[in-house]
A = this chain, B = another copy of it.
Amino acid sequence: MDLGVELLNITTGGNRVAVIGQKTASLLGVHSSDRIKITYGVKTVVAITNIAEHFAENRIGLFEETETALGISSDERVGVELASLPESLFNIRAKLHGERLREKEIVAIVRDVVDRRLSTVEIAGFLTALSIHGMGMSEFEALSRAMILTGKTLDFGRGPILDKHSVGGIPGDKTSMLVVPIVAAAGFTIPKTSSRAITSPAGTADRVETLCPVSLAIEEIQEVVKKTGGCLVWGGSLELAPADDLFIQVEYPLGIDPMLLPSILSKKKAIGATHVVIDIPTGLGAKIKTRQEAYTLASDFLELGQRLGLNIQCALTFGDQPLGCGIGPALEAQEALSTLMGAGPPDLREKAVSLASMLLDMVGVDNPRNTAENTIDSGKAEKKMREIIEIQGGNPKIKPTDIPIGPHHATVRSKQAGRVLWMSTESIVRIARMAGAPKEKGAGIVFHAKLGDTVRKDGVLFEIYAEKNTKLEAALELAEQLTPIGLSRKPEEKMVIDTIPEKITHEKAFMIDR
């Protein structure tokens, strides 16, 4: 059928979608969400159909993604017919029924995801099935390879390429901002790409952005790494594993994360890493709650790494509370810089030194821990960080106090005396986000008490910072409702820990932080 083109000038956010009227659809034998084949000259594009009640007959409306794929302008004419279903949809259906997929089938799915030939409904079905049925190691491997195959890759030349990744979950984890300059200062190459926060108060890209630009092109990254040995950039626009970005869009509302392993390792492989330390924060405040889970995940990382030709070591790290004291992009950048300068909270330094020395050990450095500590104590790591900041386009002379913090702030005090027994990551994340993090970089929390600390009545528990006063008030109100810090009480004083149903809705804070 021959239809006149109408450009809608709206993106769908990725999918190729075309709009036709009800009668036209009926003549084509097309139902909503069926695929149509649109032919324009020698170009053919498959789009998903959106049937609109009042759309003009003999016309087809193209969303921007479809327009771009066809390279067409308004009022041109195109041929339209019902398209057959993509092969990969039958592979997805097989997974829905619990079948194990072969590499060829997985590659077909991932390629069709990247080419936007699968709808979000179909991707949601696939990921839900993966989440429930689980995957075998050969499926993990095939998924990783498919994601590498359909994305870009970087090449930093010969020699070991080191990398570090956290599966995420605890707020305030700014370790990468120390590990990169430590490892680079020790003479190794560590091209670190990071994500922005989706559900957390800050991602490493958000933190570093308070010091220097992080959205660099691939050639710029190669330049930075060539000159300094390291970089701290946002990985989101590099298309290292573009399928993963589409998977995340679907996983996020569903609160599932079946692609954790292939997603992480495909990106490490795409950036050319040879030696990788994976940080698995484990504890009540983290994504991974128990050691058992952590060991299983670690052994999966090791096996998948081996299959992909990556040297991997995993670190199970303490995950019962936030890392350091600052939460929120600017507050965390301040803390990371201070720690590189020899001050800063001891847990952050300890963790960064430990992970860096694991990497140094993997590439054969003697006394790796001493080496790592020396880079801090001698000022080499700080100097390296300032080199990276400068070449990425920031001010190399920046002092921690130069990083702007939200002008509105309030102090939350303890209503009783006691010792800090637990900290609720979920509540801390909600309060920091209510204050404006991560979008408002100066917003966040600074803790004055952490696990084991003794607090007197009216002693300061934490401060909240915000860029806007309304957000500060909203965050304070939320802090009143929630219990982000639990103090010791004798059981006979208060036996009921919580009531069900609870008075406030606890949004399950789900962290996608790849």
What is the interface of chain A, defined by CB distance below 8 A to chain B? Answer: 8-13, 19, 26-27, 29, 31-33, 50-55, 61, 64, 84-85, 87, 89-90, 92-93, 96, 98, 119-125, 127-129, 131-133, 198, 249-250, 252-256, 433, 439, 505, 507-508
A69 to B12, CA, bound (A): 21
Choose one: B52, B122, B132, B439; the contact of A132 (CB below 8 Å). Answer: B132
Assess the A11–B54 pair: CB atoms within 8 A. yes
Cβ-closest chain B residue relative to A250 = B121
Residues of B within 8 A of A31 (CB): 198, 252
Assess the B96–A132 pair: CB atoms within 8 A. yes
| 20 further A-B pairs in the complex, CB-CB below 8 A; given A11-B50, A125-B125 | A8-B10, A9-B54, A10-B19, A10-B50, A10-B61, A13-B33, A33-B249, A52-B64, A54-B64, A85-B253, A85-B507, A90-B508, A93-B255, A93-B508, A96-B256, A121-B123, A122-B124, A125-B127, A125-B256, A129-B132
A54 to B249, CA, bound (A): 20
Residues of B within 8 A of A13 (CB): 32-33, 50-52
Assess the B26–A439 pair: CB atoms within 8 A. yes
Residues of B within 8 A of A89 (CB): 253
Assess the A128–B96 pair: CB atoms within 8 A. yes
Residues of B within 8 A of A32 (CB): 13, 249
Residues of B within 8 A of A252 (CB): 31, 33
Assess the A254–B92 pair: CB atoms within 8 A. yes
Assess the A50–B254 pair: CB atoms within 8 A. no
Determine how close the nearest CB of chain B comes to the CB of A508; give it in whole angstroms: 7
Are A50 and B508 also in contact (CB < 8 A) when A96-B255, A252-B31, A253-B122 are?
Answer: no
Choose one: B12, B84, B129; the contact of A507 (CB below 8 Å). Answer: B84
Copy tally for this chain in the complex stands at 2
Residues of B within 8 A of A98 (CB): 132
A–B Cβ pairs within 8 angstroms, 10 of them: A10-B52, A29-B439, A33-B252, A93-B254, A96-B255, A120-B120, A121-B124, A121-B254, A122-B253, A132-B133
A272 to B85, CA, bound (A): 39
A50 to B8, CA, bound (A): 14
Residues of B within 8 A of A133 (CB): 132
Determine how close the nearest CB of chain B comes to the CB of A380; give it in whole angstroms: 37
Cβ-closest chain B residue relative to A104 = B501
Residues of B within 8 A of A256 (CB): 93, 96, 125
Are A253 and B26 also in contact (CB < 8 A) when A128-B128, A132-B98 are?
Answer: no
Residues of B within 8 A of A54 (CB): 9, 11, 64
Choose one: B120, B128, B249; the contact of A129 (CB below 8 Å). Answer: B128
A58 to B253, CA, bound (A): 26
Determine how close the nearest CB of chain B comes to the CB of A91; give it in whole angstroms: 11
Assess the B254–A122 pair: CB atoms within 8 A. yes
Are A125 and B12 also in contact (CB < 8 A) when A31-B198, A90-B508, A96-B132 are?
Answer: no
Q: Which 6 A-B pairs have the closest CB atoms?
A: A124-B124, A128-B128, A125-B254, A11-B52, A121-B124, A29-B439
A321 to B53, CA, bound (A): 38
A122 to B123, CA, bound (A): 11
A98 to B433, CA, bound (A): 30
Cβ-closest chain B residue relative to A130 = B128
Determine how close the nearest CB of chain B comes to the CB of A108; give it in whole angstroms: 12
A70 to B306, CA, bound (A): 56
Residues of B within 8 A of A51 (CB): 13
Choose one: B26, B93, B128, B507; the contact of A125 (CB below 8 Å). Answer: B128
A255 to B92, CA, bound (A): 10
Determine how close the nearest CB of chain B comes to the CB of A132; give it in whole angstroms: 5
A300 to B230, CA, bound (A): 63
A55 to B505, CA, bound (A): 34
A32 to B245, CA, bound (A): 12
Assess the A121–B120 pair: CB atoms within 8 A. yes
Determine how close the nearest CB of chain B comes to the CB of A195; give it in whole angstroms: 13
Question: Which of A93, A250, A254, A255 gathers most chain B CB within 10 Å?
Answer: A254
A239 to B264, CA, bound (A): 46
A249 to B120, CA, bound (A): 13
Residues of B within 8 A of A26 (CB): 439
Assess the A253–B131 pair: CB atoms within 8 A. no
Residues of B within 8 A of A90 (CB): 507-508
Cβ-closest chain B residue relative to A501 = B104
A53 to B10, CA, bound (A): 9
A123 to B121, CA, bound (A): 8
Cβ-closest chain B residue relative to A8 = B10
Residues of B within 8 A of A19 (CB): 10
Residues of B within 8 A of A121 (CB): 120-121, 123-124, 250, 253-254
Residues of B within 8 A of A11 (CB): 50, 52-55
Cβ-closest chain B residue relative to A27 = B439
Determine how close the nearest CB of chain B comes to the CB of A227; give it in whole angstroms: 31
